Amino acid sequence: MSRDSESTADSPPALSHRAILHVDMDAFYASVEERDRPELAGKPLVVGGLGPRGVVSTANYAARQFGVHSAMPMARARRLCPQAVYLRPRMDCYREESARIFSLFRRYTPRVEGLSLDEAFLDVSGSLRLFGSAEAIARRIKTDIHETTGLTASVGVAHNKFLAKLASDLQKPDGLVCVPADAVHGFLDPMPIRRLWGIGPRTEPKLKAQGLLTFGQLRRADEAVLRSLLGKRAEHFRRLASGEDDREVVSDSPDKSISHEVTFDTDLTELQEMRAELQHLTDLVAARLRRRQLLARTVVVKIRDPDFRTVTRSRSMPAGTDATQTVYHLARALFDGWRKSHPSTPVRLLGVGVSGLDHHPGPDAEPGETTPMPLDGPDSRPLDALMDSINRRYGGNKIVHGQTLRRRRGDS
């Protein structure tokens, strides 16, 4: 791409002069586990829920050779690859690694649109004069990620999001594919039609029955034929097959909420177990608040029963908090209110969340801006600080509230 395509970070350039990267971490969860446990190197590895209701979150490339893939029921994965190592996700660890990686992205551009913990679009159009070509920036980002985290990423480079995302998937793992603006049709035309966004298992056979097997064939197809097969979206799919995509990279907005939830392998029936899970979820949520220096004004509890009926309860406070026990006492009060009217209903899923987020005012805040005292019992903030310090130093949840020790073991 030409270096004549620079623009300011505040105004996106013309579509044909954009420089877009799609960065996709390679088998992210599994790669983190392999890095942290070298004895797993070379072995098939599957990360996900291990109970009968579990699903695969990520499989490494050795496991994928046996047909294991994300979102697959874990029971099927075990049948396909019984020799694999199966691990539960360590979401806090993955979130920390993701935060490190996204901070690397922002060295090169403020225009970062996160799609998940392990992938993002970057508009580097305004960074070309400072860092070189889009391909050079992609190589620097890949190097930064590997040197900082020990992980690999695959990157697609193009002038729009659709092309960049397709490109990032072509040479995994550790790939880098660039699509020049004057070579789009040569890049797209041979691709199988199933790679076109929005073409699912119902539509693909209809297109194939008409001899439309590739992007190129769809791009050149008769307009009336496409309308009969794809209806009102026919022109949309033709534009994609031609490599046309005018969507901008939308920079991430600040967090609006933080939550954790768990689906149990077997439904919870004991109140003590439910409250223990509530405490555990609250510990995770409040720790994330403090890590991001945020305060929350609203606490939300989510409950799902075995018939998949889902209810939420929420309560707001006059001031924000990041204190674990403040959040827990509100969450417990909300849960207990539901439990009174459902005394014998088992719980399939439980979640705790917070919203109404604002930045922590810091030690010099005016009176009324500081974190409120817990609603019941002593101030938990000194204990929170100590627990955060220990868990940061030694990793994971090395120290927990005693209530959580009543959790049922073995649930995802």
> What are the residue numbers of the active site?
119
Tell me if 157 sits within 8 A of 135, measured CB to CB: yes
Question: Measured between alpha carbons, how far is 274 from 332 in angstroms, rounded to an integer?
Answer: 10
The CA-to-CA distance between both ends of the chain, in Å, stands at 47
Q: Kindly give, in sequence order, each residue whose CB lies less than 8 Å from that of residue 248, ignoring residues fewer than 6 positions away.
A: 12, 123
Give the 3-state secondary structure of residue 142: helix
Residue 24 annotated as lining a ligand binding site: yes
Tell me if 118 is assigned to a ligand binding site. yes
CA distances in angstroms from 155 to 171, 272, 351, listed in the order given: 9, 48, 35
Bridge partners, residue 47, by sequence:
58, 87
Check: CB of residue 109 under 8 Å from CB of residue 122. Answer: yes
C-alpha separations of 283 from 90, 126, 315, 354, 411 in Å: 15, 41, 18, 12, 17
| Alpha-carbon span 383 to 386, nearest angstrom | 5
- What is the dihedral angle through the alpha carbons of 328, 329, 335, 341, rounded to the nearest 10 degrees? 170
Tell me which H or E stretch contains 326: helix 324-341
- Are β-strands 119-123 and 20-25 bridged in parallel, bridged antiparallel, or unpaired? antiparallel
Binding residues, as ranges, are 24, 118
Binding residues for Mg(2+), as ranges, are 24, 118
